[in-house]
Amino acid sequence: MKYKLIGENHFMNPIETILRNRGIDDIQSFLHTSEKDIIHWNKLRNIEKAVECMISHIEKKNKIFIQVDSDCDGVSSSAILINYLRVVFPNIEIEWNMHDGKQHGVILEHVPDDADLVVIPDAGSNQYREHRQLKEKGIDVIVLDHHECEKESEYAIVVNNQMSPDYSNKALSGAGVTYKFCKALDSKLGIDIADNYLDLVSLGNIGDMMDLRSLETRYYVLKGLKQIKNLFLQALYEKQSFSTKGIINIINTQFYVVPLINANIRTGNLQEKLQMMNAFLESKELIYNTRKKESETIHVATARLLTNVKARQGRIRDKNVAAIEEKIAEKNLLDNKLLIVEVGSILDKNLTGLVANSLAKKYKRGTLLLRYNKETGILNGSGRGYDKGVIKDLRQLLLETEKFIYVEGHGNAHGISIEAKNLIEANEIINEKLKDVEIDVGFHEVDFIVPSKQLKPKFIKELHSLRDNWGYKVEEPLIAISDIEVNKDEVYINGSKKNTLKFTCKGIEFIKFFSSESEWESIVNQGERLVIDVIGKCSLNEYQGKKTAQILIEDYEVAKVKEKEFVF
């Protein structure tokens, strides 16, 4: 087990230490975001032009087509816009479309012939060809996006914070830009409706992993989580209430709600996706529950549906991973510094990123999963980095080879394209560059290293009390606790499935979920008295009114063994 300290080991002043480790200097502003952090919507380039275009089409009773993009932010963005427009303009004619796979942007064949306006939330900035062809048909296009692109389209009204020099917040997702568009409509119409959809703004920004050090984005996310109004979102939180313990915050949304939506986008069939979108649009439809023999709201039924789809996705993923691992072994692919696998015939296309992430974690190295197109000679796919490894930005490493057609996305999660003839050379460049690097040894970055004798329940409870602050780029703190001494008969394996490892030291519980009896045996068989080092997160267990400080174990090692101590 390897770990390193991020910054100073000031565990007597934990919150300041943690936030400075995340690159946050103005701690009070971060902890107390407010309306003063809001950037006015009119700082977004072209937004007033987009509002005028929208209102003009509505006044003419024209047909509006909205393309729902294929991710959590895309679904959130379109739900904000459609819900808003239907409330403000009850007689509006809107048609919307969802992709059957994980495509992005508008597909011309899906645009109705009688559409007068096409709106693309959370995508479409660089669809120049589609913009031109729609314009040639007399169809206006509004793009509400946050993705980077090379230039502004000549044939569409593009509202994009990345392309707005006066809009300083580049960490606002498509849902945020769409919300700003609704705020602009509010202003034009003299109403105040857009804020009713801040829960979906929050969901979109969390789902798209926006940098939550941005004060404006953070303000919207936290405010949205305090007002969950969307009936389907309420049902999702209720469905996951056992896992979340009823706490609605950034981390619980990120780990227990967003994955359900993403699973349905990746694995659900078109009917399941349409049902999910209708649930977000607060349909009043009732669905018959054959098991209960009674009807229930679409919101409750779809929340249950998504948990089933997520389980189905897990089974498909595990099957695909097993097939890929056979190929890895057969072709000795772990001899390379990056794990690069052509997966065209053995992996569901919609699961490429998900499976790449699983393999990166398992093999502790950056992973590229690619599909070969014989007609073009090009490989396309997904790249995922290993965040505990030595390569902190896989995307930059790939770009530096100058062999890829594109590497688009985040540092450790991106889409990639490369000519097949260049892949071998790119691999050789990377192998040479990393020849002296031990690639498959991960390490934990910790905020504090605390000797067991100095660890107090008060410290753990203080860190746990800050749990609502954690999110992307403001990650939950890890702490290393050294020299925890316990007798082997004080280490237990609990739970109905015998999969919860637990021991207690100085009134603090150390607990590891998803363990096993074999793991427990491997610990207790080492000696009578164990000296254990632990990497973990701070938690608080409440049972029958008693609150106990806990460390949730992420990693550990038995550093040494001693003779059992007896106390008389």
Across 62-68, average pLDDT = 98
248 DSSP β-pair partners: none
Q: 567 pLDDT exceeds 60?
A: no
Task: Determine if residue 402 is left, alpha or beta; phi over 0 gives left, psi from -120 to 50 gives alpha, anything else beta.
Answer: left
Between strands 500-505 and 339-342, the pairing is: unpaired
The token pair at 307 is: 């948990």
The token pair at 352 is: 């490429």
Rounded distance between C-alpha atoms, residue 364 and residue 102, angstroms: 27
Q: What is the pLDDT of residue 456?
A: 94
Rounded distance between C-alpha atoms, residue 383 and residue 371, angstroms: 12
DSSP state of 490: G
Q: Are 356 and 366 in contact (CB under 8 A)?
A: no
Q: Which residues contact 501 (CB under 8 A, 6 or more apart)?
A: 491, 492, 493, 494, 511, 512, 515, 519, 520, 523, 553
Question: Smallest Cα–Cα separation from 508: which of 450, 427, 422, 568?
Answer: 450
Q: Which residues contact 347 (CB under 8 A, 6 or more apart)?
A: 320, 323, 324, 355, 369
Rounded distance between C-alpha atoms, residue 318 and residue 311, angstroms: 11
Q: How far is CA 102 from CA 49, 72, 141, 565, in A?
A: 30, 11, 22, 59
Q: Are 256 and 310 in contact (CB under 8 A)?
A: no
Rounded distance between C-alpha atoms, residue 522 and residue 477, angstroms: 28
- Using DSSP's 3-state secondary structure scheme, residue 387 falls into coil
Q: 173 pLDDT exceeds 90?
A: yes
Rounded distance between C-alpha atoms, residue 387 and residue 11, angstroms: 24
Tell which wins on pLDDT, 417 or 349.
Answer: 417
DSSP state of 255: I
- Using DSSP's 3-state secondary structure scheme, residue 157 falls into strand
DSSP strands (E only) in 463-545: 479-487, 492-494, 500-505, 508-512, 529-543
Q: How far is CA 212 from CA 170, 200, 394, 434, in A?
A: 11, 16, 21, 32
Q: 568 pLDDT exceeds 70?
A: no
Convert 151-160 to b/e letters by CB count within 10 Å (16 or more is b): eebebbbbbb
Q: What is the pLDDT of residue 103?
A: 81
pLDDT, one tens digit per residue, over 462-485 is 999 999 999 999 999 999 999 999
Helix H or strand E segment including 159: strand 157-160
What value does the CA radius of gyration of the chain take, rounded to a whole number of Å?
Answer: 26
Q: Which long-range contacts (CB under 8 A, 24 or more apart) does 473-476 make?
A: 473/22, 473/23, 473/211, 473/212, 473/213, 474/19, 474/22, 474/24, 474/212, 474/213, 475/22, 476/251, 476/537
Across 250-264, average pLDDT = 97
Using a pLDDT cut of 70, give the percent of the chain over it. Answer: 99
The token pair at 208 is: 């798209």
- Using DSSP's 3-state secondary structure scheme, residue 318 falls into helix
Confidence of residue 112 (pLDDT cuts 50, 70, 90): very high
Fold of 333-433: Diaminopimelate Epimerase; Chain A, domain 1 (3.10.310)
Q: What is the pLDDT of residue 566?
A: 59
pLDDT, one tens digit per residue, over 24-57 is 999 999 999 999 999 999 999 999 999 999 999 9
Rounded distance between C-alpha atoms, residue 506 and residue 484, angstroms: 9
Q: 551 pLDDT exceeds 70?
A: yes
Q: 275 pLDDT exceeds 70?
A: yes
Across 249-268, average pLDDT = 97
Q: 228 pLDDT exceeds 90?
A: yes
Q: Are 496 and 45 in contact (CB under 8 A)?
A: no
- Mean pLDDT, the chain, integer: 95
Q: What is the pLDDT of residue 443?
A: 86
Rounded distance between C-alpha atoms, residue 190 and residue 66, angstroms: 24
Q: Could you tell me the residue ranges of all domains in the chain?
A: 3-24+447-562, 33-229, 230-330, 333-433
Q: How far is CA 20 from CA 97, 472, 475, 507, in A?
A: 44, 15, 12, 30
Q: Are 117 and 65 in contact (CB under 8 A)?
A: yes
pLDDT, one tens digit per residue, over 494-520 is 988 899 999 999 999 999 999 999 999
pLDDT, one tens digit per residue, over 176-219 is 999 999 999 999 999 999 999 999 999 999 999 999 999 999 99
Q: Are 444 and 388 in contact (CB under 8 A)?
A: yes
Question: Smallest Cα–Cα separation from 447: which of 474, 426, 465?
Answer: 474
- Using DSSP's 3-state secondary structure scheme, residue 433 falls into helix
Helix H or strand E segment including 449: strand 448-451
The token pair at 177 is: 């830009």
Q: What is the pLDDT of residue 102?
A: 76
DSSP strands (E only) in 75-152: 93-98, 117-121, 140-145
- How many Cβ atoms are within 10 Å of 234's Cβ, its own excluded? 16
Least confident stretch, 75-79, 248-252, 309-313, 385-389:
385-389
Tell which wins on pLDDT, 484 or 564.
Answer: 484
Q: Tell me how far the alpha carbon of residue 366 is from its chain's centroid.
A: 18
Give me the residue label for tokens 């940098």. Answer: 211
Q: Are 406 and 417 in contact (CB under 8 A)?
A: yes
- How many Cβ atoms are within 10 Å of 148's Cβ, its own excluded? 12
Q: 101 pLDDT exceeds 60?
A: yes
Class for domain 3-24+447-562, per CATH? mainly beta
Architecture of domain 33-229: Alpha-Beta Complex (3.90)
Q: Give backbone dihedrals phi and psi of 153, rounded to 5 degrees, phi first.
A: -65, 140
Q: What is the pLDDT of residue 276?
A: 98
- How many Cβ atoms are within 10 Å of 219's Cβ, its own excluded? 18
562 DSSP β-pair partners: 529
